[in-house]
Amino acid sequence: MTFNKIEAAMQYRFITVFMFLVIAIFTTNTIHSQGFVSESQLRHLLAEEEGESSLTGIWLSEGYTVVRNVYTEEVNKLEPIYDFFTMVPEGDKYRIAANRETENPKMYAAIEMTHKYNGHYISSVNTDEPISAPCTYTVNAEGFESIHYSYRLPPKLNYKLVQNDSLELGYSVTLYKIETEKYYTEDKETQADLRELFENEIINKELSKEELQGIEETLYNPPADTIRYLMDTGNIKHIIGASEFPNAIKDDRFFIITVNNAFTNRVTYTVLFENFDDNVWHFDFKVDDNFKMLDLICVDKAHEYSAELIALIKDHNTKSNTWRK
C-alpha cells in the first residue's frame, strides 16, 4: 500500500518575514502537542538504531470517527482523516510525536508493545480519564508495517464533546509506516504552490517603514545572533543536522525567510544562505513559555522550497542588499 502526501492533506503552517514583511500565510496558532521531532533528529535516532528492528520512523494515520446512538444502535462511520506522525523511543514505549506535516498533534500518545504483535495505545487527552486501548502490529505480504487500535471515548470526555447522552464517539485508527527516504523528498506540487504564493503576494509588495523596522529587528534578534555566532565560530557543525556545513560558512551572509511558532516551546527560523549551497534550512530553537530562546536544537533542510523560488529570493536579496553579515 502506498500513500501520497498530498492526498493525506498536508498543510504547511508558517509566518513569513520575507523581504522585510511579517505576514500570516497559514494557520499559526500554538499547537499544544506531546512533542516535535524533526527530520535530522529522526535520522540521528535511526542511525543509533541501525540494524535493530523498531517502530521508530514516520507513520501515516488513517482514522475514522464512529458515532453510535445508544438507544437506536445506529452506527455512522465518518469520512477518514489522515495525518502524519513520527514515532520515537521513550523508555519502554514509543512516543507518537508531531513533525512538520502533523495537522492535529495529541497532548500525549504512545504505543507500548507487550508482545511482538500486541500492545497498547495510550493517550492522555485529559487528566481524569486517560485512554488505553489494545493495539495490533502486523506486516503484510509486501512487507508494509501497520498498527491498528480502536476505542470509545471515556464518558466525561464524550459528553464534553457531544453534549448529548444518546451519542457515543469512538475512533478506529490504522497507522502505516512510511519509508523515511520517500517521505523526506521534494514535493513538486507543494513547491509550485509556495512559489506562486511568494510571487503573487510577497516579492513585489511595497513595504511600510514600520514593516521594514519589524523585519530589521527580526534579522538582529537573539536567535539570529545565535546563528551568526555559530557561523563565525564554526560550532554550527556540532548541531544535529549541520555536520556537513563547511568552515567557509563563517564568511557567508544569510537571510531569515520565515519564523514559525506553531509548536509549544519551539520556534523555527527558516534561513537561506547567500553562497552556501542552494537549499533553505529550518533552524529549530527551544524557547520557554515566554518565547525566550534557550538553545538551538537542530537544523533541517526545507524541502518545500524549489530551486526556482530560492533563486528568486537570492536575486531579490542581492538587489535589495538585504543579506545579514
C-alpha grid cell for residue 119?
500492545
Cβ atoms of 122 and 131 within 8 Å: the answer is yes
With bands split at pLDDT 50, 70 and 90, how would you rate the model's confidence at 18? very low
Strands lying side by side in the sheet with 254-263: 23-24, 15-16, 254-263, 266-273, 280-287, 293-301
**Residue 215 pLDDT level (bands cut at 50, 70, 90):** confident
Contacts 24+ apart (CB under 8 A), 2-5: 3/60, 3/82, 3/176, 3/178, 5/84, 5/101, 5/183, 5/187
Residue 301, pLDDT score:
95
Domain closes at, from 161, 182, 203 = 182
Is 162 in the same domain as 233? no
For residue 13, being part of any structural domain is answered with no
User: Final residue of a domain: which of 148, 182, 216?
Assistant: 182
**Separation CA 67–CA 55 (nearest Å):** 30
Q: How many domains does the chain have?
A: 2
pLDDT digits (tens, 9 = 90+) for 298-317: 999 999 999 999 999 998 88
Do 84 and 176 form a contact (C-beta atoms < 8 A)?
Answer: no
CATH number for the domain including 42? 2.40.128.420
User: Is the same domain home to 220 and 291?
Assistant: yes
Q: Are residues 38 and 165 in the same domain?
A: yes
The amino acid that residue 94 corresponds to is Y
Share of the chain above pLDDT 90, in %: 61
Q: Give the range of the structural domain holding residue 303, as residue numbers without chain letter.
A: 186-320
pLDDT tens figures, 267-284:
999 999 999 988 999 999
pLDDT in the model for residue 126: 61
Total residues found in the chain within this entry: 325
Task: Write down the mean pLDDT value for the chain.
Answer: 85
pLDDT reading at 35 higher than 90? no
pTM of the full structure? 0.81
What pLDDT band is residue 127 in, cutting at 50, 70 and 90? Answer: low
Tens-digit pLDDT profile for residues 45-61: 999 998 777 999 999 99
CA diameter of the chain: 72
Q: Are 36 and 156 within one domain?
A: yes
Does the structure show a pLDDT above 70 at 16?
A: no
- Please spell the DSSP secondary structure of 207-270, one letter per residue: PPHHHHHHHHHHHTSHHHHHHHHHHHHSGGGGSBT-TT--GGGGG--EEEEEEEEEETTEEEEE
Which of these three, 136, 165, 182, is where a domain ends?
Answer: 182
